[in-house]
Structure 1
Amino acid sequence: MTAGPGRRRRPRGSSRRSRETASRVALTATDDGAVFLHEAVAWMECSIHEVVPAGDHDLVLLKVEAAHVEPGVPPLVFHASGFHSLAAPAAS
């Protein structure tokens, strides 16, 4: 899921006080166990396609079963311990 511009505080708070914050987040859970945040601007529902052993880890390859993006809502990217907006594409 991708957070929208108005959600800069919630993802950080979620990592610090997950139970307290989770009780305030509107979400829907599917019968298959997928969880969708109502305020997400993008989401993908995936299934496991293949699990590949990789040393002391497993590499999990996913198959995208469904996806949605809210048009016209710019996403936020978490990088270098902070949230940032993406630059608009250059006009061609």
Structure 2
Amino acid sequence: MKRIGNLFEQFVAFPNLLQAYYKARKGSRRNQENSFFFVNLEAELLQLQEELQSLTYAPQPYRYIQIYDPKLPQRTGFLRKKGTKGQALHSLHG
């Protein structure tokens, strides 16, 4: 089996982070948090890249969103949602 090295550098490369962000924001473009992240996109992604390279990245806590169905009140529940930075990192691939 052939060993592939230096994957981490490719993993945290800026074009890869940018592609992951665009993949993560699909379907949620009108979200206010995504809008603020997009305004400072380059700075946010460079900060994420620096945190990953220095191994100081800490995931943001989940936000809980209450879901309510007026037709079936017994189906009320909560949804956990990651922040934009966490979604982008989750969409990252080499």
Higher relative CO (CA 8 A, sep ≥ 6), structure 1 or 2? Answer: 2
By the TM > 0.5 criterion, same fold? Answer: no
Structure whose residues are more often strand by fraction: 1
For normalisation by structure 1, the TM-score amounts to 0.24
For normalisation by structure 2, the TM-score amounts to 0.23
Structure whose residues are more often helix by fraction: 2
